[in-house]
């Protein structure tokens, strides 16, 4: 089974208004659809929470530590410059290892569509073996940022799981039974 068909994902919408039922969440469902159709992921969990650091951080930890074995947590919302935009700060409270390159790549690739891509303060990192991405809150911003890194996510998740031993040697030996060699 390829990693694309076995990625277990969760989508967290961060929005005061949506969490109170005053607005309809469109970004979360758009990300769920993209994860399912473009990545072949099984979306196991979804939720909507207010823009509160402790609540957001707790959900990241819950989902990364759960018995669900979530590989990828994608959040949408709270990455801008508004005073209540605190998703990156919430993630920083609980991420064990930062991976700034992922969101730098997303912003760089999205820049061609809009320079406003660089207004997102989204970050990425890991909690245990779960990759966490914090994406913008608009449906367009969220999906464009995810689209921008969709091509490298399967390998990132395989590596995070410990399934890939690829040190560049033609005779690399795998402890997991799998060696991935890349032509690039």
User: Distance (Å, rounded) from C-alpha 71 to C-alpha 28?
Assistant: 17
For 78-88, the pLDDT digits (tens) are 999 999 999 99
**Does residue 174 form part of some domain?**
no
Does residue 179 belong to any structural domain of this protein? no
Q: Is residue 8 part of a domain?
A: yes
- CATH number, residue 153: 3.40.980.10
What is the number of structural domains in the chain? 1
121 lies in some domain: yes
**Over the stretch 71-107, which tens digit does the pLDDT of each residue have?**
999 999 999 999 999 999 999 999 999 999 999 999 9
Residue 177 falls inside a structural domain: no
Within-domain flag for 176:
no
Higher pLDDT, 54 or 183: 54
Residue 52 binned pLDDT confidence (cut-offs 50, 70, 90)? very high
Enclosing domain of residue 91: 3-161
The pTM score is: 0.89
Domain presence at residue 183? no
- Has residue 40 been placed in a domain? yes
Give the tens place of pLDDT for each residue, 149-178: 999 999 999 999 888 765 566 666 555 555
Mean pLDDT of the 118-122 span: 95
């Amino acid at each position: 089974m390829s990693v694309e068909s076995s990625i277990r994902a969760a989508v967290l919408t961060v929005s005061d208004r949506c969490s109170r039922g005053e607005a309809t969440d469109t970004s979360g469902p758009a990300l769920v659809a993209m994860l399912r159709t473009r990545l072949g992921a099984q979306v196991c969990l979804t939720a909507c929470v207010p823009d509160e650091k402790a609540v957001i951080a707790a959900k990241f930890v819950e989902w990364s530590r759960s018995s669900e074995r979530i590989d990828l947590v994608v959040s949408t919302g709270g990455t801008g410059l508004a005073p209540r935009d605190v998703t990156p700060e919430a993630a920083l409270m609980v991420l064990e290892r930062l991976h700034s390159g992922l969101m730098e790549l997303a912003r760089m690739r999205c820049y061609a569509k809009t320079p406003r891509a660089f207004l997102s303060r989204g970050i990425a990192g890991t909690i245990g073996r779960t990759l966490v991405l914090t994406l913008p809150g608009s449906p367009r911003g969220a999906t464009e940022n995810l689209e921008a890194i969709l091509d490298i996510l399967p390998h990132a998740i395989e590596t995070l799981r410990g399934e890939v031993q690829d040190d560049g040697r033609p005779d690399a030996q795998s402890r997991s039974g799998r060696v991935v060699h890349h032509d690039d």
